[in-house]
Structure 1
Amino acid sequence: MMTVPIIIDFEASGFGAGSYPIEVGFSGRHGEGWCTLIRPEHDWQHWDIDAARTHHIPREILVERGRSAVFVAEQLNFFLNGNTVYTDGWAQDYVWMARLFEAAQAVPRFRLEDLRQVITPRQESAWHSTKSRVVDELRVARHRASSDARILQLTWLRTHDEERLHH
């Protein structure tokens, strides 16, 4: 029996040293989504203007509407407790997740793994074209964590179904 992977995505203030998570979202096994902005901690000062242009989230909005690291970590642990959760940007997302949980003085109660672990070679060969079709069909206007997670999950599902049809 197929288990649909839970997909998580973090958006960040930029890349490299000093960057921090600004938004997190996931798509659960049944397509249910959850997303929130993350209020920067007092020592999270890094801000990449190119990242801000990509996400269309000004730092002022994060300060005003973002949730505390403690709240976000508690919510992630509540929703994802005991599950393995997948990301397509494992190296970056792992660092941002660690930064979030460190600020919250908490430990994740779920495992973060690389999405490539549950993608077969046949799925991989169809990945980019399938993902482009999913993006076109969903007409996602903004680059946001929960929509990105849902796009990845639907891409996984479609490539998985295609593979099953060919076996």
Structure 2
Amino acid sequence: SESAETIHGISRQRLLQEGMPVSEVAQQLNKLLPEQVFCDAWTFDSFWLHRLFRAAGEVPAFQLESISMLLDPGQVRHWSGIRQQVIAELGLPVHRAANDALILHKTWERVICRGEAAVQ
């Protein structure tokens, strides 16, 4: 859709030229990912993941979990604010896989380091 093209910055034409068949993507995810995979937007990520696997006629061989399962309540409270700081500092557009991965990584580092600094 046009809105998906705008959000993700990938045109339908580019997907058709450079993309992979949905069944191949699902099979590769099952092959490469461990039993548990963590994400920071579980509601959205699980919706799209299951839509992908349904379209491929496959079943995920892994469980998608919220990253909040790995954090204590204080870290969960700070997550969103720290994420927004990271986005502002990096100045990268969101909803691009590489950018989102970097934002997630930097947010994780700061949230975890913040907790470690409080303990010391």
**Higher RCO structure, 1 or 2 (CA under 8 Å, sep 6+):** 1
In the TM superposition, what are the counterparts of 1:15-164 in structure 2 within 5 Å? 47=1, 49-82=2-35, 84-141=36-93, 143-164=95-116
- Unaligned regions of 5+ residues in structure 1, if any? 1-46
Matched residues, number:
119
Secondary structure of the corresponding residue to residue 143 of structure 1: coil
Q: Which runs of 4+ in 1 moved over 3 A?
A: 136-139
Q: Which amino acid aligns with 1:98?
A: H
Q: By percentage of residues, which structure has more helix?
A: 2
RMSD of the TM alignment (CA)? 2.1
Distance 2:45 2:95 in 1: 16
Percent same amino acid at aligned positions? Answer: 36
Q: By percentage of residues, which structure has more strand?
A: 1
Structure 1 length normalisation: TM-score?
0.61
Distance 2:41 2:8 in 1: 16
Structure 2 length normalisation: TM-score?
0.81
Distance 2:78 2:43 in 1: 23
Distance 2:106 2:7 in 1: 22
Q: CA deviation at 1:106?
A: 2.0
Q: CA deviation at 1:142?
A: 5.8
- Are the structure 2 counterparts of residues 142 and 125 from structure 1 closer, same or farther at C-alpha, using a change threshold of 3 Å? closer
Distance 1:126 1:93 in 2: 21
